[in-house]
Structure 1
Amino acid sequence: MIYWFKARRLNSIAALAIALYALMVALFLDSAIELPFATGGGDMLLMMLAPLPICSALVLCLRSRLDAADALPVRRVWAFDMAAVAVLLLLAVVIGQVCSVLLDSRAAGEASRNTVFLAACTLAVLPWLKERAIVVPVATVMVTPLLGRGYGGEPRWWAILLQPAADPTALAGCAAACTAAAIAMASHGRRLHVTG
């Protein structure tokens, strides 16, 4: 387990990502920039950028592997990977919720859900896109504010990042993304053992 921990570089990359995420959540709060060219007008909350360090760290850490050692059937490396992802996302959710309560920021609460959603989308495509999987959360963060609002300014149903924190549609989308990520990670990890 020590070699897995060192190979994944969790002590440096993940720790830096969670610190940067906490700093962004605490500083951005409800700050926004205006996007006049977006459909329906509207603003982009800077908080939408907060999940990107977590997603980048997940890609870097999970792609830092020793293929020969990871493929050994005596160790379930994919289970360690899933546990590391769960701990990192749990820390992000706790930070977002604590900042939401202490700093009275609705956007900090939404950042928790958005972090889990974007990380799950990233992990769902990671086995196939490899390092290029980071494009998924970046593109989602860039496209959603531009196209995610109707002409009345209300978020469209698919724009999960723009929905309130407890919106049922957004939570269902987040749950679906988490399920897809878990299936992708588990099936890829097991396939690695079979074909290793």
Structure 2
Amino acid sequence: MQGQTVSLPSILSGTSSRFLLALIAPIPLCATLVESLESRVSSQEETGLRNIPFLDAGLSLASAGVAVVSALGVSMILDTSSAITAGRNTAFLVGLTLLARSIIGRTATMIPVVWIFCVVFFGYKNPQQPYFWAVLPEEFNNLYAATAAFFSLSAGLAAQILWQPRSHETGEA
């Protein structure tokens, strides 16, 4: 997937935009993370002495951290910036997914897919210029995109610690 692009139609600009295939790399990690966080035995976790929200946040942070560090390693080995971009995008999408999970529970698994579709079809002013909210197609050294990834991940971790997902409140596993 390194450096491979595909032309996809952009509905708002009326043209097609080049989209890096590496931008879909975070989807498996985000989906696996949500499924892991949602596969719990609520009765045992509610009566346990461990602080489950902090342990879950640790798992989420470790997952995003390993993805970012791996991306940096791949970038250095293969001398490509698209791996760094994929690492940043993983942190952004993990944060977005965790935020959504605090509201909609397990359904948040689809948030990265929906975000990527929104970026592909609505995220470009013209074929070379994405809207500011798109974040994913920005270059690896874009300060705005890195800041958005940081705040997205931070907000997602805070939401994970402070608010239990809806599925936990109803007792669903």
Q: What amino acid does structure 1 have at the position aligned with 2:126?
A: Y
2 CA distance for matches of 1:185 and 1:58?
A: 12
Task: Report if aligned partners of 1:155, 1:163 keep a CA contact under 8 Å in 2.
Answer: yes
- The superposition leaves residues 94-149 of structure 1 with CA deviations (integer Å, 9 ceiling, x where unpaired) of 11111112112221110000001001100111122112102211011112122222
Give runs of aligned pairs for residues 6-85 of structure 1, distance below 5 A.
Answer: 28-38=1-11, 39=13, 40-72=15-47, 74-85=49-60
Offset from partner CA, 1:28-47 (integer Å, 9 cap, x none): 11101111455353211110
Corresponding letter in the other structure for 1:137: P
Matched positions, count: 169
Mapped partners of 2:45, 2:28: distance in 1: 25
Code of the residue aligned with 2:108 in structure 1: it is A
Q: Which has the higher contact order (CA 8 A, sep 6+)?
A: 2
Q: 1:79, 1:71 → 2: CA distance?
A: 14
- Pairing 1:167–2:149 present: no
- Please give the alpha-carbon distance, in whole angstroms, between the structure 1 residues aligned to 2:28 and 2:2: 17
Question: Secondary structure at the residue paired with 1:161?
Answer: coil
Shift in CA distance, 170/95, structure 1 to aligned 2, threshold 3 Å: same
1:8 paired residue number: none
Q: TM-score with structure 2 length normalisation?
A: 0.87
- Partners of 1:97 and 1:141 in 2: CA distance: 22
| CA deviation map 1:12-67 (0-9, x unaligned) | xxxxxxxxxxxxxxxx1110111145535321111011000000111110000111
**If each structure's strand is expressed as a fraction of its own residues, which one has the higher value?**
2
Q: Answer yes or no: is 1:125 the counterpart of 2:100.
A: yes
Asked if 1 retains the 8 angstrom alpha-carbon contact of 2:85 and 2:139, the reply is: yes
Unaligned runs of 5+ in 2: 165-170
Contact between 1:55 and 1:122, CA under 8 Å: does it hold in 2? yes
How many angstroms apart in 2 are the aligned matches of 1:77 and 1:37?
A: 42
Q: RMSD of aligned C-alpha atoms?
A: 2.6
Question: Gaps spanning 5+ residues in structure 1: where?
Answer: 1-27, 190-195
Q: CA deviation at 1:73?
A: 5.6
Please state whether the residue corresponding to 2:89 is helix, strand or coil: helix
Structure 1 residue runs of 4 or more that deviate by more than 6 Å after TM superposition: none
